[in-house]
């Protein structure tokens, strides 16, 4: 979810101003920073996982040694379904503030690793159908609906996700759910994104997430010297490294570090490589029935790029809605 569909940028970038070396140096410095941060997270995760597994498994146990790091997966997966709902104080996503108090239901059905998933976000302001005076876009009722189709097996999850926003009004008419063309200026449109996520195992819950937008709501304008401008697709991409730390009292600390490799929606279509999300989420879960589970969570998010950019660039429009440090609390109920 983002707030501005397109950002106008000048065609005379730093590469044309003779600052190529400076740009490369800044990019390398950012890469080194991200690498150091990822390396620290990985080192802590590896040491923690090693100690945890050693406490449960001795080197003399051959069977335990065989399954030391990896999970055992069934040869056949039949029909599965999952139903759940989260109630959260804020909707924060990849370093951005995307909404306030809301309900987030989710439904998934799968067979043999293939699945279809439906996710909603309905905020407290999304209950009445009310348009702005010029009939340009929805003012009150603007939830988000995400439909995904994917494959999940052996720790690998690959899916295509179609994100639709009910604030998509163009000339008084709401855009179609499967309208993949570029939206008009200031119009939301829809978004299509490919995601690949891999987690080593439940014993070593180290994961990496790769996302790239390929359709719809994602691009910016490039102005030319003759006064014309062209729209350029950004292919906004997001990379996230995560680890779930098992803590005492059956608590889990989910740590995430996310970055974007180039100019994208996560930087307001400005800049280049940037770390845009440092997130820590504390979770406590309970089984309240045979197939029902409940959890409560508290979350803290920082957007380093947004904080640093807002401090020196007075014309910069915050992608985090001016809320670069965000908290969130909530609870969830799930049938499995």
Task: Express each pLDDT in 293-328 by its tens digit.
Answer: 999 999 999 999 888 877 776 666 666 566 678 889
Check if the beta carbon of residue 129 is closer than 8 Å to that of residue 140.
yes
Top-level CATH class of 8-335?
A: mainly beta
Task: State residue 188's pLDDT score.
Answer: 53
Task: Express each pLDDT in 181-204 by its tens digit.
Answer: 555 544 456 788 999 999 988 888
Task: State residue 129's pLDDT score.
Answer: 47
Q: What is the mean pLDDT of the chain?
A: 76
Task: Express each pLDDT in 155-176 by its tens digit.
Answer: 899 999 988 876 555 555 555 5
Task: State residue 43's pLDDT score.
Answer: 57
Q: Which of 67-81, 105-119, 141-155, 241-255 has the lowest mean pLDDT?
A: 67-81
Highest mean pLDDT among 3-7, 91-95, 166-170, 185-189: 91-95
Highest mean pLDDT among 11-15, 137-141, 182-186, 217-221: 217-221
Task: State residue 272's pLDDT score.
Answer: 84
Q: How far apart (Å, rounded) are the C-alpha atoms in residues 227 and 221?
A: 12
Q: How far apart (Å, rounded) are the C-alpha atoms in residues 323 and 306?
A: 9
What confidence category does residue 76 fall into, taking pLDDT thresholds of 50, 70 and 90? low
pLDDT at 91 over 60: yes
Q: Which of 8-22, 32-46, 126-140, 256-270 has the lowest mean pLDDT?
A: 8-22
| Residue with more model confidence, 1 or 298 | 298
What confidence category does residue 123 fall into, taking pLDDT thresholds of 50, 70 and 90? confident
Q: Which of 15-29, 116-130, 133-147, 162-176 has the lowest mean pLDDT?
A: 15-29
Task: Express each pLDDT in 202-240 by its tens digit.
Answer: 888 999 999 999 887 788 888 888 888 888 888 999 999
For 140, which DSSP code? S
Q: What is the dihedral angle through the alpha carbons of 29, 31, 33, 34, rounded to the nearest 10 degrees?
A: 160
Q: How far apart (Å, rounded) are the C-alpha atoms in residues 336 and 294?
A: 11
pLDDT at 249 over 50: yes
pLDDT at 48 over 60: no
Check if the beta carbon of residue 140 is closer than 8 Å to that of residue 163.
no
List of residues 6+ apart from 207 with CB closer than 8 A: 197, 198, 199, 200, 241, 242, 243
Q: How far apart (Å, rounded) are the C-alpha atoms in residues 53 and 259?
A: 30
Q: Which residue has the tokens 């998933």?
A: 117
Q: What angle do CA 281, 283, 285 make, to 5 degrees?
A: 165
Check if the beta carbon of residue 303 is closer than 8 Å to that of residue 268.
no
| Residue with more model confidence, 120 or 16 | 120
Percent of residues, the chain, with pLDDT higher than 70: 61
Q: What are phi and psi of 27, to 5 degrees?
A: -65, -45
pLDDT at 11 over 50: no
> What are the structure tokens assigned to 265, written together?
């929606």
Percent of residues, the chain, with pLDDT higher than 90: 32
Q: Where are the domains of the chain?
A: 8-335
pLDDT at 31 over 50: yes
The SS3 of residue 49 is helix
């Amino acid at each position: 979810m983002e707030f501005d569909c397109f950002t106008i940028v000048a065609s005379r970038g730093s590469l044309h101003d003779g600052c190529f070396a400076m740009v490369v140096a800044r990019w390398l410095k950012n890469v080194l920073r991200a690498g150091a941060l990822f390396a620290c997270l990985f080192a802590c995760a590896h040491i923690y996982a090693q100690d945890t597994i050693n406490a449960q498994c001795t080197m003399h146990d051959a069977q335990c040694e065989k399954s030391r790091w990896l999970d055992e997966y069934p040869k056949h997966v039949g029909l599965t379904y999952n139903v759940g709902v989260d109630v959260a104080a804020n909707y924060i996503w990849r370093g951005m503030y995307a909404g306030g108090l809301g309900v987030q239901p989710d439904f998934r059905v799968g067979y043999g690793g293939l699945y279809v998933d439906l996710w909603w976000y309905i905020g407290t302001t999304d209950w009445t159908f009310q348009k702005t005076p010029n009939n340009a876009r929805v003012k009150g009722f603007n939830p988000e609906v995400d439909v995904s189709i994917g494959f999940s097996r052996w720790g690998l999850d690959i899916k295509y996700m179609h994100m639709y926003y009910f604030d998509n009004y163009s000339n008084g008419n709401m855009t179609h759910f499967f309208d993949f063309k570029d939206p008009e200026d200031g119009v939301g449109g829809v978004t299509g994104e490919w995601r690949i996520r891999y987690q080593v195992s439940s014993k070593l819950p180290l994961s990496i997430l790769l996302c790239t937008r390929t359709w719809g709501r994602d691009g910016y304008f490039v102005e030319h010297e003759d006064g014309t401008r062209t729209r350029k697709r950004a292919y906004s991409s997001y990379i996230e490294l995560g680890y779930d730390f098992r803590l005492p009292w059956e608590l889990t600390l989910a740590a995430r570090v996310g970055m974007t490799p180039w100019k994208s929606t996560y930087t307001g279509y400005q800049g280049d490589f940037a770390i845009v999300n440092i997130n820590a989420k504390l979770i406590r879960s309970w089984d309240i029935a045979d197939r029902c589970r409940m959890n409560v969570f508290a979350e803290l998010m920082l957007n380093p790029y947004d904080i640093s950019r807002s401090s020196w660039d007075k014309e910069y429009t915050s992608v985090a809605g001016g809320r670069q440090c965000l908290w969130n609390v909530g609870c969830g109920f799930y049938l499995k």
